[in-house]
Amino acid sequence: MSGYSSEERAAPYSLEYRLFLKNANGEYISPFHDIPIYADKNVFHMVVEVPRWTNAKMEISTKDPLNPIKQDVKKGKLRYIANVFPHKGYIWNYGAIPQTWEDPGHKDQHTGCCGDNDPIDVCEIGSKICSRGEVIKVKVLGILAMIDEGETDWKVIAINVDDPDAASYNDISDVRKLKPGYLEATVEWFRKYKVPDGKPENEFAFNAEFKDKEFAIDIIKSTHDHWKALVAKKTDGGGINCMNTTVEDSPFKCSMESAKAIVDTLPPPCESTCVIPTDVDKWFYYQSN
């Protein structure tokens, strides 16, 4: 068990919906800033934003206090990812590594593009369908360099250390061997998932080839360095909200009482009487509640 829990505010699949993270003491924290990047030596924490096979584009809200998970909104409407044939929704558990940041003011030497202003993304390939807001421990296997509308958007490939087959996966070559076609499907998914919305296909550095574990960990470490500068106010974070409860020497650190006051201003947790709108994730919602 990770020791972390979550609390929903307002109804899922609504503009008001927020999912806050709590520590082992039940105190509100930021999944962006307060969960350590490392769970153990060479093991990273991952915050699950989107469970596999679902379509609602949930993400850590980098601009809100305490950075709750909420559904992305485009032109005033809740965002759902179109199915990329022959798949249903996201083809992995999708989320982010905490305490990382792809700096939009830093031009990446490998891609020639600046960061996308978000924590680094993770595709977890294990057998379990995780829950939104779940904090898991992952073993990093490799990384894909996607370029999304001119911005660097790294995609880390990892596996839950508690997966029954985790011991068999130690580098990106093991994914090719044990899950034939999965990496190719990942590239095609990321290449085409925005096309139904009228956008062009995404591009990739390294001719869309996955880099290995060592390379991936170096990239993650560099995004951690950028994050450290962000929370120390040594770089301009623009609209990023750096409110946190644990980062020593951060000018943005607040008390647990202040964190609770932020959450208390929001609608109460959704009870069983909440009306869930009809959408592509309704089945998953009822299966998991």
pLDDT digits (tens, 9 = 90+) for 82-95: 999 999 999 999 99
Residue 166 lies in a domain: yes
Could you give the CA distance from residue 226 to residue 205 in angstroms, rounded to a whole number? 21
Q: Is the pLDDT of residue 278 over 70?
A: no
CA nearest 173: which of 215, 116, 134, 235? 215
Q: Sorting pLDDT into bands at 50, 70 and 90, what band is 238? A: confident
Could you give the CA distance from residue 63 to residue 61 in angstroms, rounded to a whole number? 6
Residue 92 lies in a domain: yes
Q: Is the pLDDT of residue 273 over 60?
A: no
Query: What's residue 267's pLDDT?
Result: 85
Residue 206 lies in a domain: yes
Residue 148 lies in a domain: yes
Express each pLDDT in 102-126 by its tens digit: 999 999 999 999 999 999 999 999 9
Q: Is the pLDDT of residue 277 over 90?
A: no
Mean pLDDT of the region 243-260: 97
CB 53 within 8 A of CB 167: no
Report the number of distinct structural domains present in the chain.
1
Express each pLDDT in 165-188 by its tens digit: 999 999 999 999 999 999 999 999
CB 71 within 8 A of CB 58: yes
The token pair at 142 is 């490799």
> Letter for the amino acid at 78?
L
Mean pLDDT of the region 260-273: 80
Residue 122 lies in a domain: yes
Full residue range of the structural domain in which residue 22 is found: 5-274
Percent of the chain with pLDDT over 70: 93
CATH number (domain holding residue 57): 3.90.80.10
Express each pLDDT in 110-169 by its tens digit: 999 999 999 999 999 999 999 999 999 999 999 999 999 999 999 999 999 999 999 999
Distance of CA 10 to the CA centre of its chain: 21
Query: What's residue 245's pLDDT?
Result: 98
Residue 209 lies in a domain: yes
Residue 168 lies in a domain: yes
What mean pLDDT, rounded, does the chain reach?
Answer: 93
Place of tokens 């950075």: 67
CB 155 within 8 A of CB 102: no
